[in-house]
Amino acid sequence: MTPRLVVIVGPTAAGKSRLAIELARLVGGEVVSADSQQVYRGMDIGTGKATLAERAEVPHHLIDVVAPDQEMTAARWTELADAAIAGAAGRGAPVVVAGGTGLYVRALLLGLFAGPAADPDVRAQLTREAEAAGGAPGLWRRLAAVDPEAAARIDENDLRRIIRALEVLTVTGAPISEHQRRHDHRRVTPRYDARLVGLCPVDRHELYRRIDARVDGMIEDGLVDEVAALRAAGYGGELRSQAAIGYAEIHRYLDGSLSPDAAIALAKRNSRRYSRRQRSWYRGDPTVTWYPAASAVAMEDLQRYLLGP
């Protein structure tokens, strides 16, 4: 029997992790993190990982899986998530999935749009174009002009995904967003029976206030020292993992190109922009039931769903 899942989605700072832990406690369950940055060891403060005490009380999976210089793809993450879910089911533990990486959630529930095989020549050309444009943001602007829907979902520093989106367009003649729309819940048999819960404050300014407070809290908790430790271990700002929001800005501060205040302000701005991309990922998706706060979620209903026959 395929395990039932509760999947908690929404923008950063909306309270997803807290709600997931609370629900898992109530049902004796386990949490699978659907966060593309929490997979990296040594990146704790800036990714908002559950504390060691929380993980001791509620088992968590897909946290601290790889080193910061190792690659993690949506396909690999899905394999690991499938194994974690199967393991929990074997122990009789319900599973709560929580995280803000929409691509990971989609891959888990619907599988991935396979797309055309990689074209080395196209990728090499796009890499040269990125270098000529001054880096990933320049190539992202090109993507935004030809496929704004895809660009809205991809961070402007995520060169790998930017190149892949443009590669699909070049090879197939159709935007990757169009291919992804064809590969959606209306045409694909879901891989799991899942109840999707979305968290997002109705007031956008309230969400932004939380995001700013979250960044300030990370700085107070020692994010600068965490990034310095990563650099000392050989994990510099050129790595894909270090392009994560919060880390990229602190690397620039430690490189001397930003003042401390400017780095913090930029991290807040980039976090707010990322929250908009997270919200746009699920825009118009009827499978998600949205709530303005965790306190509004019908917890008894979710418990019955996870524990029912």
pLDDT at 186 over 60: no
Sign of CA dihedral 241, 244, 250, 254: positive
Lookup result for tokens 């206030």:
209
What pLDDT is stored for residue 181 in this prediction? 67
Query: What is the average per-residue pLDDT within 267-295?
Result: 92
Task: Kindly state the DSSP code that residue 188 receives in the 8-state scheme.
Answer: S
Of the pLDDT bands very low, low, confident and very high (cuts 50, 70, 90), residue 53 is very high
Which domains does the chain possess?
Answer: 4-112+184-307 (3.40.50.300), 120-182 (1.10.20.140)
Query: What is the average per-residue pLDDT within 159-182?
Result: 82
Query: What is the average per-residue pLDDT within 223-243?
Result: 96
CA 32 – CA 63 distance, rounded (Å):
8
Lookup result for tokens 């995280």:
99
pLDDT at 165 over 90: no
pLDDT at 197 over 70: yes
Q: Based on C-alpha coordinates, what's the Rg of the chain?
A: 19
What pLDDT is stored for residue 136 in this prediction? 86
Report yes or no: 4 and 195 within 8 Å, Cβ to Cβ: yes
Query: What is the average per-residue pLDDT within 257-283?
Result: 94
Q: What is the pTM of this model?
A: 0.85
Of the pLDDT bands very low, low, confident and very high (cuts 50, 70, 90), residue 282 is confident
